[in-house]
Amino acid sequence: MNTSSPPHHRSPKLRRLGAALLTLLLTASIFGSIVLVNILAERHNLAIDVTARGEQTLSARSNRVINGLEDGWELVLAGPWSGDTAQLLGHPPQAVQGVVDVARRFDEASPRLRVTLLDTTRSADQARFAELLSRLATRDAEAVEQQRRTLAEAIEAIERSGDRLAAIGARLRRAADAFPPTEAEDGPARQFESWASILERDAESLRTASANAAEALAEQLGIPGVPGIDRARDSVRSVLQAVESQLPRFRRVFEQAAGAGVPGGASSELRAAAGDTARLRDDLARRLDQVERLRVPDTVRIARLLLSQDAAIIAGPPGRGVTAISFDALFPPPERGRDADLRRRAEEAFVAGLLSLAGGDAPIVVFINPNPQSLLETGILRTLRQRMELRRISFVEWNPADNPSPPSLLSIDPQRRRPVVFVSIGTDPGGRFASGPDGPTRNRALGEAVQLVLERGDALLVCASPFDAPAAIGGRGLRDEATEPLRALGLHIQSNSPVLIERVVSGDLMVEASVRPSVDQAADDPHTVAQALAGLPVTLRFASPIALADENDDEITRTPLLTLRGAGRQRDDWVRFFRHRDADDPAARFDAWVDSDRTEPGRAGGPWTFAAAVSRPFDNRAGRQRVIAVGANGWFFDNATLATEVVDGRRIAANPGNAELFEASIYWLAGLDELIAPGPGSRPTPRITRLEESESRALGWAMIGGLPLLILFLGAMWRLVRG
């Protein structure tokens, strides 16, 4: 007998109610999950970078700098983020958001760096920003007050100096009155009256200058309680320098005029005037020394900047200082193709700001340039200088053809703590075709300067130009005096025969003077500089190979940095191509038959080394001398570092490794190895390369046989799971 209970059937009403409850529960769960995901995303801001160039992640250098920070760093980015950014900042909102995203990446990179975004359109964030400025004012309050008092005392001294000059002028008038009436209208008496008038005008100018400096000191800047001591200091210094430099001449004139031929009363007044002038000059010199020793506090510079525009503020822990990055630097006026670089530009600026406070003593770069054209006074290095000066690197130029002694660096490094790196610039081969100092004289002066730097044990980066001995000097077999000193280090730059490459283009034989050497990826222990260049294209024009001594010894180590395999010939006839060069032609491509009825075959070979690093023991601060030699010249000029090319429909930097090579070389030569890493502007661009025949065949068989087998396998697994 079947004793089981009959099945229970729910009424349609209950089934509908249950379905409604399940739907409501499912909907609430979905909405709850969405809210939870948004809360987690807001707090942790998880982002996965799937771009080929890693555009959504920080560069290796940025991570290295951030990881090297101690506790207590802060980056504050205050701006109109919720307002009409396109109108306020001049860029589309998505471009501005890229800068904000970079700031968030910095915040996530390390707990030692706290990043704060303040929206200046909101009253609450305005109050927080005011509180930050108050903290900045308190941070340097003691130094600011001390400098304010020093400048106030100097301003009072300038005002008193006006009275003292007027008193000296009165002595000169009394000296003129000591002459008989018959001589008062002519001769020395009239000269004394003229001097008195000059000093009285100078006295009035000093009183005016004192009032102007006092007004500058009373100015209130963009941070409450911070006076304008920066402009007051400049005003006081210029006045003191002008007066202090003129007083010795007046003293000598007064002493000479007090000699024979003047009445006794006039002589005593003149001698007293000379003594008063000497004492005034000594007092002003002491004041000038005090003022020149003043270093404007970071808070004052930031307060001055905030008067005119918004800025990102970077504050280090106590003792590290504060710096600011103007919005003009973060958001330059938009130009075609510029918006896409805002993210990279912001990352460069943030890293540079951190390095300016945490990077220690920045190096000084001294260009040894024997050519008549200055590098720093022209636009040849404008972009590179802007990039390096963000890192507080200073530049000085030395022309050994005009002065065989290196320039003094005391004005920019009075304590002599900063590392110094010399960079030799090769002479322009085109200049050797002319007579006079543009020929071998400048090349010889460059060689003597390089020899001097090596003897002193200083760090040196050598950039070698091709050398044409027959045209320059009139004989074969002569050595390039500019690179000859490197032979003592086991380096021989074969500058008389650069490597050129022959190619057939549209049926015509062409010669290219540009080579693209690369880092040896198979090296067991790659050099620090080479690691920063891995995967980055470097282009050198009219590049000369470097022969290294066969073996390293216990004293000197030699390491190739850039090599080229399987292409090129050394050409002794490079001059005929060089004459037709175009500085704006990135390919440096020439007709193989230019200026000649035939081509010289040249010397084939390889692999070629175009850059090498040398280190040897030396009794200097670092204990070793470092040298890098590159067999080309002008490779870090703007026309090389800013060159672009179109790859897969995108315009990209053609030679990102050139600027990276220069920067990494400077840091390595300065002993700052920890700062060497690829920067945000040096990520290699992915390129679609041609598949080898074996790879293409394997891919075809995978498509033909692999997909059906995969479908069969998945079907079998499904049947197995279903039983």
pLDDT of residue 336: 47
Q: Examine the domain organization and report whether 56 and 159 are in the same domain.
A: no
In a domain, 21, yes or no: no
Last residue of a domain, one of 359, 393, 409: 359
Q: Examine the domain organization and report whether 70 and 154 are in the same domain.
A: no
pTM greater than the 0.75 cutoff: no
Q: Examine the domain organization and report whether 55 and 87 are in the same domain.
A: yes
In a domain, 583, yes or no: yes
Tokens of 493: 């730059």
Number of domains in the chain: 4
Rounded CA separation 419/413 (Å): 10
Rounded CA separation 20/31 (Å): 16
Q: Examine the domain organization and report whether 67 and 91 are in the same domain.
A: yes
Closest CA to 634 of 506, 514, 723: 514
- What kind and span of H or E run contains 511? strand 508-512
Rounded CA separation 122/120 (Å): 5
Q: Tell me the three-class secondary structure of 632-698, residue by residue.
A: CCCCCCHHHHCCEEEECCEEEECCHHHHHHHHHHHHHHCCCHHHCCCCHHHCCCCCCCCCCHHHHHH
In a domain, 434, yes or no: yes
CA-based torsion, 350, 353, 357, 362: positive or negative: positive
Tokens of 693: 């025949």
pLDDT of residue 485: 93
Rounded CA separation 399/407 (Å): 9
In a domain, 656, yes or no: yes
Rounded CA separation 303/132 (Å): 12
Q: Is 83 exposed, middle or buried (0-12, 13-18, 19+ CB in 10 A)?
A: middle
Q: What beta strand segments (E) does 321-360 contain?
A: 322-326
Tokens of 571: 């050409």
What is the DSSP track for 11-75?
Answer: -HHHHHHHHHHHHHHHHHHHHHHHHHHHHHHHHH-------TT-TTS--HHHHHHHHT--S-EEE
Q: Examine the domain organization and report whether 560 and 441 are in the same domain.
A: yes
Rounded CA separation 292/294 (Å): 5
Q: Examine the domain organization and report whether 663 and 714 are in the same domain.
A: no
Q: Examine the domain organization and report whether 193 and 72 are in the same domain.
A: no
Tokens of 410: 């005391």
**Beta strands 514-515 and 459-463, pairing class:** unpaired
Cβ-based neighbours of 253, under 8 Å, separated by 6 or more: 195
Q: Is 536 exposed, middle or buried (0-12, 13-18, 19+ CB in 10 A)?
A: buried
Q: What is the DSSP letter of 526?
A: -
Q: Examine the domain organization and report whether 514 and 631 are in the same domain.
A: yes
C-alpha distance across the termini of the chain, in Å: 35
In a domain, 7, yes or no: no
| β partners of residue 75 | 115, 314
Q: Examine the domain organization and report whether 198 and 306 are in the same domain.
A: no
Q: What is the DSSP letter of 227?
A: B
Q: Examine the domain organization and report whether 705 and 718 are in the same domain.
A: yes
Closest CA to 665 of 529, 516, 517, 519: 529
Closest CA to 297 of 72, 415, 137: 137
In a domain, 11, yes or no: no
CB 538 within 8 A of CB 657: yes
In a domain, 12, yes or no: no
Rounded CA separation 495/632 (Å): 9
Last residue of a domain, one of 314, 334, 359: 359
CATH number reported for the structural domain that contains residue 351 in this entry = 3.40.30.10
Q: Examine the domain organization and report whether 573 and 474 are in the same domain.
A: yes
**Beta strands 514-515 and 650-653, pairing class:** unpaired
Last residue of a domain, one of 339, 359, 379: 359
Phi, psi for 146 (deg, rounded to 5): -65, -45
Rounded CA separation 43/45 (Å): 6
| β partners of residue 630 | 463, 611
pLDDT of residue 339: 45
Q: What is the DSSP letter of 481?
A: T
Q: Examine the domain organization and report whether 484 and 576 are in the same domain.
A: yes
In a domain, 8, yes or no: no
| β partners of residue 116 | 76
Residues of the chain with pLDDT under 70: 1-10, 41-56, 82-92, 181-187, 260-261, 333-341, 359, 390, 429-439, 469-478, 504-509, 521-523, 551-554, 566-567, 576-577, 579-606, 620-622, 647-650, 678-693, 723
HSE, CB side, 13 Å, CA atoms: give it for residue 129: 23
Count, residues in the chain = 723
pLDDT of residue 433: 35
pLDDT of residue 269: 84
Tokens of 180: 């008989």
CB 356 within 8 A of CB 324: no
Q: Residue 715 sits in which domain range?
A: 694-723
CB 151 within 8 A of CB 291: yes
